[in-house]
Structure 1
């Protein structure tokens, strides 16, 4: 089995701030090979992989060069930055969740839970397991894990600590998904009160919080209340 790479380089699609390659045949020991030198940070997009018509054991990989202006590459870079954390295994677990590898993520988090050294780690792992169960549609299990995370956090943090708000909000979201609107409002409002105390009045998190509460009222059919919160 053989693989041949064909690289297409369109200068119009390359940022003028970088020069990803150079023709170096004049400096090569074998000028006839017309060598091209690429920088270490060059990124190519796979366009197509096909077998050659006359040889089924030779595959052709069509590549095209890209740079930081490519929106999908920028999205991948953002994803990589988002999963940065204090522990590479936690980063791996979060990445597994983001790409939908739920079974592998659950297995990893359960192993991490066994070796967790302190309450902070355990609270984080339970929170991630809650997120996982939400993505799987297993809402009662999600609430169970979120509540475990919340219980640990409340033992070590003041009741109005800002880091409690996302967990309250996540529990509210799960109850809303389950159609238990009064419980959803209860948790969303707990989250909102913390944000009101800990954040400036124009902080984006408050806007999201108002929107979440408005969404519950909308699902309940209380449209005037929903409008009140959406306008906030």
Structure 2
């Protein structure tokens, strides 16, 4: 079910993806528990579906919940936690909270570089996003979008 939901998400079939993702979350919560890594992955997938649709507030709620649980259960520097951190930063950017997004992405870049290495694709991706956001933000004449 999770794979089919992912296929729907990749095809932009948001409603179908969302429906399946909710089912997967509920099933995993029942069978594995709310804090299980697979449950958290399902919640992050639903948050991604929301962010892909510009449903930033809903995405933020889920990403924050998943990140806090992942930090507690897996650790702040676990690759899964860092993926959520990266996605939450993008969500804050989507909400127009540029300064917060930049600060969170700075943390993500530092962790990913230390844990995964500077040349890892995830490290590079976060670094490029951070550089672009900083350049964009510095071009706003000191305005802060919060």
Assess, with a 3 A threshold, how the Cα gap between structure 1 residues 203 and 121 changes in structure 2: closer, same or farther: closer
Q: CA deviation at 1:217?
A: 1.3
Q: Secondary structure at the match of 2:63?
A: helix
Greater C-alpha Rg: 1
What is the correspondence of 1:193-208 to structure 2 with a 5 Å cutoff? Answer: 193-208=110-125
Structure number with higher helix proportion: 2
Q: Does 1:114 align with 2:26?
A: yes
Q: Deviations over 1:131-176 (max 9, x none)?
A: 0011111111111111122122122112211221111111111111
**Structure 1 CA distance for aligned equivalents of residues 49 and 121 of structure 2:** 25
**Structure 2 CA distance for aligned equivalents of residues 107 and 115 of structure 1:** 13
Could you tell me which runs of 5 or more consecutive residues in structure 1 were left unpaired when the two chains were aligned.
1-88, 224-232
Q: CA deviation at 1:203?
A: 2.4
Q: Deviations over 1:10-36 (max 9, x none)?
A: xxxxxxxxxxxxxxxxxxxxxxxxxxx
**Structure 2 CA distance for aligned equivalents of residues 153 and 103 of structure 1:** 27
Q: Does 1:186 align with 2:98?
A: no
CA RMSD, Structure 1 to Structure 2 (Å): 1.6
Q: TM-score, normalised by structure 2?
A: 0.84
Q: Which residue of 1 aligns with 2:143?
A: none
Q: Does 1:103 align with 2:5?
A: no
Q: CA deviation at 1:205?
A: 2.5
**Structure 2 CA distance for aligned equivalents of residues 147 and 120 of structure 1:** 15
Q: Which residue of 1 aligns with 2:83?
A: 166
**Structure 2 CA distance for aligned equivalents of residues 179 and 122 of structure 1:** 29
Q: Secondary structure at the match of 1:159?
A: coil
Please tell me whether the aligned partners of residues 127 and 145 of structure 1 are also in contact (alpha carbons under 8 angstroms). yes
Structure number with higher strand proportion: 1
Please tell me whether the aligned partners of residues 76 and 82 of structure 2 are also in contact (alpha carbons under 8 angstroms). no
**Equivalent of residue 135 in structure 1, options 52, 63, 79:** 52
Please tell me whether the aligned partners of residues 165 and 190 of structure 1 are also in contact (alpha carbons under 8 angstroms). no
Please tell me whether the aligned partners of residues 75 and 81 of structure 2 are also in contact (alpha carbons under 8 angstroms). no
Could you tell me which runs of 5 or more consecutive residues in structure 2 were left unpaired when the two chains were aligned.
141-146
Q: Which residue of 2 aligns with 1:94?
A: 6
Please tell me whether the aligned partners of residues 96 and 104 of structure 1 are also in contact (alpha carbons under 8 angstroms). yes
What is the correspondence of 1:1-232 to structure 2 with a 5 Å cutoff? Answer: 89-116=1-28, 117-118=31-32, 119-222=36-139
Q: Deviations over 1:61-98 (max 9, x none)?
A: xxxxxxxxxxxxxxxxxxxxxxxxxxxx1110100101
